Copies of this chain bind each other. A is one copy, B any other.
Amino acid sequence: MSQVVVAYHSGYGHTRMVADAVREGAAGVPGASASMIDVATIDDAGWNRLDAADAIVFGSPTYMGGPSGAFKTFADATAKVWFTQRWKDKIAGGFTNSLAMSGDKSWTLAYFVTLAMQHGMIWIGTAMLPSAVAGDPDALNRLGSYTGLMTQSDNVPPEESPGPGDLDTARAYGRRVAEYAVRTRR
């Protein structure tokens, strides 16, 4: 089985909803299994799971124009993996959620790419054209993001937002990552 691990941080639960949808999409792919790790509380078992993964999908809210401090602290801790390039050639992807349509989400995704490249990983984006109607809440890729997954949530509980279109986009992205992991597994 190809192992997909969603390594995420979530401040108020909205990003966790997205993480879970990515996981669900990946888990539905024949030959793949998927799980989640909250990087703010990662333990040795979590690090071992990351080491064993075929694909890691990074996720964080966008706070003040970048990944959260908790996510960045986790990223810094991966320096011990970097020294030996232990994650080399693993597949990498990423997603981020915030309140505004654009709201500097691009920078959080760009950070995930940079982190993945420092680890010698292989980056996979959404490969989805934007929705026909920009911003349509029920459509796939309504924000028009390619490098990774962008979702938007309002200031309401995580059960209400992000909406169904964003969660479907998350599932589709999870599927894409898992399918590529299955297809390219050594």
Contact = CB atoms under 8 A, between A and B. Distances in A.
Interface of A: 63-70, 72-76, 78-79, 82, 85, 88-89, 98-107, 110-111, 113-118, 120-131, 134-135, 142-147, 150, 152, 154, 180, 183-184, 186
Contacts of A85: 127, 129
Nearest to A122: B124
The 10 closest A-B pairs by CB, nearest first: A100-B144, A120-B127, A69-B73, A106-B106, A65-B114, A103-B144, A100-B130, A117-B125, A72-B72, A117-B146
Most buried by B among A76, A100, A123, A184: A100
A64 B88 contact: no
Nearest to A67: B72
A180 B122 contact: yes
A11 B84 CA distance: 21
A184 B144 CA distance: 28
Nearest to A105: B102
A143 B102 contact: yes
A86 B126 CA distance: 15
A75 B79 contact: no
A111 B65 contact: yes
Contact of A150 (B102, B150, B154): B102
8 contacts: A68-B76, A72-B72, A98-B144, A100-B131, A102-B105, A107-B110, A113-B147, A122-B123
B82 A75 contact: no
